[in-house]
Chains A and B, each alone.
Chain A
Amino acid sequence: MEEELLINNKKTSLSDQQIITGLIDEKDERRKAFYQKQFYNRYVNYVFKGAIQLSRNFVDAEELAKDITQETFIRAFKVINKFTFKVGVDVSEHSFILKSWLGVIANNSFKTIYQKHINEVSIEKEQTDFEEVVCPICGDFLFEEKKNLKCQKGHYKISVETRLTAQPIKESVGTDLFDSLYREPEIEISNRFKNKLQNAMNLLSEKQKHIILVYANEGCIDSRLHLSDMSLKELCTIYETTPDNIKHIKKRTLDKIKKICFTP
Chain B
Amino acid sequence: MNTEINNNYNESEQEKIIEIAFRAGGFLFPETVEEVKEFEKNYGNTDVILPTALQYPTFLDILNLNKLNKIVEFPLENLAMAARAENKNQLPKNILDLMAEDRKQSDTKRKFKKR
Contacts and interface: CB of A to CB of B under 8 A. Distances in A.
Interface residues of A, number: 72
B53 A221 contact: no
Contacts of B54: 44, 48, 66, 69-70
Contact of B51 (A30, A66, A106): A66
Contacts, number: 187
Chain A interface SS verdict (over half): helix
A191 B2 CA distance: 10
Interface string B58-75: 011101100110000000
A9 interface: no
Contacts of B53: 66, 70
Interface in A76-114: 77, 93, 96-97, 99-100, 102-104, 106-107, 110
A13 interface: no
B59 A70 contact: yes
A216 B28 contact: yes
- The CB with the most chain B CB atoms within 10 A, among A48, A50, A127, is that of A50
9 A-B pairs closest in CB distance: A53-B26, A103-B29, A194-B25, A221-B19, A189-B24, A216-B22, A106-B29, A96-B33, A99-B36
27 contacts: A32-B64, A33-B61, A33-B64, A48-B50, A50-B39, A52-B48, A53-B43, A54-B26, A54-B28, A70-B57, A73-B57, A93-B33, A99-B30, A100-B33, A102-B29, A107-B31, A128-B112, A180-B32, A182-B32, A183-B34, A189-B17, A191-B42, A197-B18, A213-B28, A216-B19, A223-B15, A258-B18
